[in-house]
Amino acid sequence: MRARSRPKQRSSADRLIVETAGRIHADVKKSTRPRLEFPVRSLSNVHYDGAGGTFVLNGRMSTRDLSYTTAKTFAQSIRMMSLSKMLVETDDIATKRDAYYQSKNWDEARFEEQPESDTVMDDIEAMLGVNREQLGFIPDQHGGSVVGPVVIIDKHPATGRPLRIDLTKQGTGAWSVPSSVEHLKFKTKAKFVLAIETSGMFQRLVKHAFWKKANCVLVAMGGVPSRACRRFIRKLADGQKLPVYVFTDGDPYGYSNIYRTLKVGSGNAAHLNEFFCVPQASFLGVTPQDIIDYDLPTHKLKDVDIKRAKDALKNDPFFQHHKRWQKAIKQLVKMGVRAEQQAFAAHHLNYVIDTYLPQKLRNVKKFLP
Amino acid sequence: MRARSRPKQRSSADRLIVETAGRIHADVKKSTRPRLEFPVRSLSNVHYDGAGGTFVLNGRMSTRDLSYTTAKTFAQSIRMMSLSKMLVETDDIATKRDAYYQSKNWDEARFEEQPESDTVMDDIEAMLGVNREQLGFIPDQHGGSVVGPVVIIDKHPATGRPLRIDLTKQGTGAWSVPSSVEHLKFKTKAKFVLAIETSGMFQRLVKHAFWKKANCVLVAMGGVPSRACRRFIRKLADGQKLPVYVFTDGDPYGYSNIYRTLKVGSGNAAHLNEFFCVPQASFLGVTPQDIIDYDLPTHKLKDVDIKRAKDALKNDPFFQHHKRWQKAIKQLVKMGVRAEQQAFAAHHLNYVIDTYLPQKLRNVKKFLP
């Protein structure tokens, strides 16, 4: 089975599954041993593509021949594809956990523990070269909260009819992004997307309708962004050609866990980065220089912060590629402090709205890459 | 200062602050030593009120006289009340973290660490007998996701004008509840609220428009419900006289951390329970008996589950009050297993929608209290 060599995305997930099954069936009929072929999913099979701005697979593959020892996993893979086909055909969804429980009906092919079924799902996703949301599998996390001048074109769950959701009309709340966003379309005249780490800062910007003043879409990531959140931002930014500016705490977690994950994806899911990374992202702040320029109250870096910073400098191809990031992280370590995005409140509560963000947004070209 | 003896809620937070400050000012002018008086906030000052269904304070008070040793905390309390007054007057908000950073401008009254400012905020909340959202202080968490046949009457952040948000028109997403819900009003013909533990189960019910079939409001709590989520459910249920049914995993965490917190609040925040508990809640499932009746796949109880169950039986006034809960928890411990709410997928993916929920909802009087 060599599904990876087929044109991706042009075929629907549905058709990819049928083709794969067809080839297995043909092999069996010819008494050829059928095989499944997956890209190896680990950091060792990955490099950073500076131009494209993502982690990219090096191309090492692993294969699963049908044999005495692999019969069970082989059967599980086929069953999982069959479940996916059903989901796609009936426009239904299943979480990883649902899929695990479904397998309890698969007799000898049932999974004993959920990590086993998760792995098989990852295999199939990588093999078919699609993201698992396209296979009907959804994550068990929502995709963050969004407001601003954008109309979401979704469908009504009860009737299937198109539904336009105006995200300027969510009041003091926001629109909660669903687990799967593949079917969404957008209309917007916004100039950029502002992705925000904390719910508290998001709520302040919503309360004061910052999205209206700045003509932007606000997204609350709530820490490290979930798959759905990353995919949502990517689709919105791609479709509408919007830049994405990221606003996190000024600390190694904000830089290397939140921002880096949003922008380039994660190493051990490199087969997915083409869907989930956000190459149009740049880093607004809080930078180490902001801490100085805006005279922010700070906390001392903890050991775990310093370790995270040093790891990023030493082992992370993304930071190794970008000299400006190396300089920034070294500066922070030297300063020995971190600052939270809410620290601007020390000046006055809405300093972030009337001073910091407008000043930074005048020089977006200076944002860290 | 005896603000607790004043009529609560009838006065706006604003007026309570002015009255309190007025009394301090009068004391100072008379050369009487001013004092602040707070209810003691600990489990030892709490009992469970079976009739009202909440934890209730026993009435022990602590006082803070203005003296050489308390001058700083006294000043901080006054400063915090002053910040609150400004927030209420300007219709602004601040998180605990914002308040901490604000204090960096308070010269000698500045807080060194955030736990200090959190404590002072809790003191004032308890002293004035209002919840801190009414004082303009908001939590740094959003309030869960909601869909269903309900119209939220909110206001437009940019114009302040009333805004009606129809929660049947959120597509495959949902409405994300803001950090503060005090100003919201509701219109609904729904018959009940269904509060759901996991985002995955919520997404399934949204996808299949279960709210339409069952004429109910769906709320995703995302684990232990946040303050805003609890307050939102409470206000919605109170205003519209709706029962609240709770659907969690069948394990001690679901029972004692999620359900119990939603229904009766937490012991060390008993001064808030009048705002945050949801006495109209009852427990739909997953009960230990459901695990048997619906032949659910299970996992073994871990040591931490067993410890949590035994703690609930031994130390928790809520479970001690309800014989049926004691029986259920003992049954689970004896069975030695737990079941997740997604385990129904073992039958078929939408078994929960076409079989389990409809069957359970026919006998709401049998729900655990």
pLDDT of B8 reads: 39
pLDDT of A61 reads: 85
Contact A247, A284 (CB under 8 A): yes
Interchain CB distance below 8 Å, B209 and A350: no
Judging by DSSP bridges, how do beta strands A185-188 and A216-220 pair with one another? unpaired
**List of chain B residues whose C-beta atoms are within 8 Å of the C-beta of residue A97:** 200, 340, 342, 345
Interchain CB distance below 8 Å, A173 and B175: yes
pLDDT of A204 reads: 93
Binning pLDDT at 50, 70 and 90, where does residue B45 land?
confident
The residue to which tokens 């709340």 are assigned: A173
pLDDT of A4 reads: 38
**List of chain B residues whose C-beta atoms are within 8 Å of the C-beta of residue A140:** 198-200
> Please, which residues 275-304 of chain A have a Cβ atom closer than 8 Å to chain B?
297
Residue in B with minimal Cα distance to A299: B113
CA distance linking residue B320 with residue A342, whole number of Å? 42
- State the amino acid at position A357 in one-letter form: L
pLDDT of A367 reads: 97
What integer is the mean pLDDT of B69-84? 91
Residue of A266, A265, A251, A186 whose CA lies nearest to A219:
A186
CA distance linking residue A284 with residue A32, whole number of Å? 56
- Which residue in the list B68, B101, B294, B351 is annotated as catalytic? B101
Count CB atoms within 10 A of the CB of residue B279. Answer: 18
Per-residue pLDDT of chain A (369 residues; tens, 9 = 90+): 333 333 334 347 889 999 999 999 999 999 998 988 888 877 677 777 877 777 777 888 888 888 888 889 999 999 999 999 999 888 888 988 899 999 998 989 999 988 899 889 988 888 888 888 889 898 877 779 999 999 999 998 888 899 999 999 999 999 999 988 989 999 999 999 999 999 889 999 999 999 999 999 999 998 889 889 999 999 999 998 999 999 999 999 999 999 999 998 876 666 777 788 999 999 999 999 999 999 999 999 999 999 999 999 998 888 989 999 999 999 999 999 999 999 999 999 999 999 999 999 999 999 999
Would you call B259 a catalytic residue per the annotation?
A: no
Measured between CB atoms, which of A93, A105, A208 is closest to B203? Answer: A93
Contact B289, B331 (CB under 8 A): yes
pLDDT at B3 over 70: no
- Within 8 A by CB and 6+ apart from A270, the residues are A41, A45, A46, A54, A55, A56, A57
What dihedral angle (degrees, nearest 10) is formed by the CA atoms of A223, A185, A203, B203?
Answer: -60
pLDDT at B271 over 50: yes
Instruction: Please state the ipTM of this predicted complex.
Output: 0.85
Measured between CB atoms, which of A179, A183, A346 is closest to B102? Answer: A346
- State the amino acid at position B274 in one-letter form: E
Interchain CB distance below 8 Å, B342 and A145: no
CA distance linking residue B352 with residue B80, whole number of Å? 49
Least confident of A27-31, B61-65, B217-221: B61-65
Interchain CB distance below 8 Å, B178 and A172: yes
pLDDT at B267 over 80: no
A256-280 as b/e: b if 16+ CB within 10 A: bbbbbbbbbbbbebbbbbbbbbbbb
Count CB atoms within 10 A of the CB of residue A356. Answer: 22
In terms of C-beta density within 10 A (0-12 exposed, 13-18 middle, 19 or more buried), how is residue A317 classed?
middle
pLDDT of A268 reads: 63
What integer is the mean pLDDT of B48-77? 83
Measured between CB atoms, which of B94, B203, B209 is closest to A349? Answer: B94
- Within 8 A by CB and 6+ apart from B90, the residues are none
Taking the Cβ of residue A101 and every Cβ of chain B, the question of whether any pair is shorter than 8 Å is answered with yes
Q: Number of residue pairs across A and B with CB atoms under 8 Å?
A: 186
CA contacts within 13 A on the Cβ side of A324: 9
Whether the bond between A286 and the residue before it is cis, its omega within 30 degrees of 0, is yes
Q: What is the mean pLDDT of chain B?
A: 89
Taking the Cβ of residue A185 and every Cβ of chain B, the question of whether any pair is shorter than 8 Å is answered with no
pLDDT of A288 reads: 98
> Please, which residues 125-164 of chain A have a Cβ atom closer than 8 Å to chain B?
138, 140-142, 145, 152, 154-158, 163
**List of chain A residues whose C-beta atoms are within 8 Å of the C-beta of residue B222:** 142
Taking the Cβ of residue B342 and every Cβ of chain A, the question of whether any pair is shorter than 8 Å is answered with yes
CA distance linking residue A184 with residue B28, whole number of Å? 63
Residue in A with minimal Cα distance to B154: A171
CA contacts within 13 A on the Cβ side of A323: 0
- Which residue in the list A48, A100, A101, A356 is annotated as catalytic? A101
CA distance linking residue B138 with residue B118, whole number of Å? 12
pLDDT of A3 reads: 38
Helical segments of A10-95, H only: 13-29, 71-90
Is the dihedral angle over the CA atoms B253, A228, A246, A304 positive or is it negative?
Answer: positive
pLDDT at B7 over 70: no
